[in-house]
């Protein structure tokens, strides 16, 4: 069986949970409490020197790192249902939508970055909130027209959920941390609701995890 090293509040772990659910794959979960720095324990650093979750261990002991690389691996080794379109142009579009979130929004708002702003730069909670929402709003402002002008359908790229939806949903959940106003982003909101109607997404939500507090 696969083993996912994750944490209920980790957005990148959340992405992998959705992908595993969409693929119908069974997985054992090992939780690493990020706010207690459990991901920096020597046993976990031996698996992943970056000290970040998620990491996915396969049956043969391979350790896969980085959520986007893990999801591409799951899609290649368990092709159905596909998380990427069948054509190269479609795949490029979906990967670009996903990377807009995974590269240009999420890492800048990550826990370790917020910690640095607090401890090394002495920023208060108001400044952290403005920072956090600034990067989501800037990213969503680009994502919204890209999604609205795409192929019709309930999801980011037509009528089936895929890699872009897998990135979008955790980012929308994060946008609720500091109550970002989502009214300028009707397409994002519509797709988010469509995803949450699917058990694969709903059951991957942070509050549904056994390590949720």
List residues near its own copies by CB under 8 A. Answer: 48-52, 62, 64-66, 68-70, 72-73, 76-77, 88-89, 91-93, 95-96, 98-100, 102-104, 106-108, 113, 116-117, 120-121, 123, 127, 130-131, 134, 139, 141-142, 145-146
Encode 138-167 in three state secondary structure: HHHHHHHHHHHCCCCCCECCECCCCHHHHH
Write down the least CB distance from residue 3 to its own copies, Å: 15
Closest to its own copies by CB, 163 or 200: 163
Write down the least CB distance from residue 165 to its own copies, Å: 16
Number of H helices, E strands in the chain: 9, 4
Write down the least CB distance from residue 84 to its own copies, Å: 10
Closest to its own copies by CB, 167 or 204: 167
Closest to its own copies by CB, 139 or 170: 139
- Residue carrying structure tokens 């929308």: 172
Closest to its own copies by CB, 108 or 182: 108
Write down the least CB distance from residue 100 to its own copies, Å: 6
Write down the least CB distance from residue 139 to its own copies, Å: 8
Q: Identify the DSSP state of 5.
A: E
Distance, in Å, from the CA atom of 72 to the CA atom of 115, rounded to the nearest integer, reads 30
Write down the least CB distance from residue 199 to its own copies, Å: 26
Distance, in Å, from the CA atom of 155 to the CA atom of 187, rounded to the nearest integer, reads 9
Residue 108 structure tokens: 């800048």
Closest to its own copies by CB, 38 or 72: 72
Q: Which of 118, 126, 133 is nearest to 172 (CA)?
A: 133
* CB-based contact 71:166 (threshold 8 Å): yes
Tallying the residues shown for the chain, one arrives at: 213
Closest to its own copies by CB, 5 or 93: 93
């Amino acid at each position: 069986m696969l083993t996912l090293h994750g944490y209920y509040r980790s957005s990148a772990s959340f992405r992998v949970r959705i992908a595993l659910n969409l693929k119908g794959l069974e997985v054992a979960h090992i939780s690493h409490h990020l706010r207690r720095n459990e991901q920096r324990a020597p046993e976990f650093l031996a698996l992943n020197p970056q000290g970040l979750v998620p990491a996915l261990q396969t049956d043969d002991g391979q350790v896969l790192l980085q959520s986007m690389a893990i999801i591409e691996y799951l899609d290649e080794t368990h092709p159905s249902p596909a998380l990427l379109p069948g054509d190269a142009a479609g795949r490029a579009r979906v990967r670009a939508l996903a990377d807009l979130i995974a590269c240009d929004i999420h890492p800048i708002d990550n826990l370790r970055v917020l910690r640095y702003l607090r401890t090394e730069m002495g920023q208060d909670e108001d400044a952290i909130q403005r920072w956090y929402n600034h990067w989501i709003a800037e990213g969503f402002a680009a994502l919204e027209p890209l999604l609205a002008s795409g192929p019709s359908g309930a999801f980011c790229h037509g009528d089936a959920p895929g890699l872009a939806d897998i990135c979008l949903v955790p980012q929308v959940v994060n946008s609720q941390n500091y109550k970002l106003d989502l009214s300028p982003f009707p397409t994002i909101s519509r797709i988010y609701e469509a995803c949450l109607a699917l058990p694969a997404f709903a059951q991957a939500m942070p509050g549904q995890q056994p390590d949720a507090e």
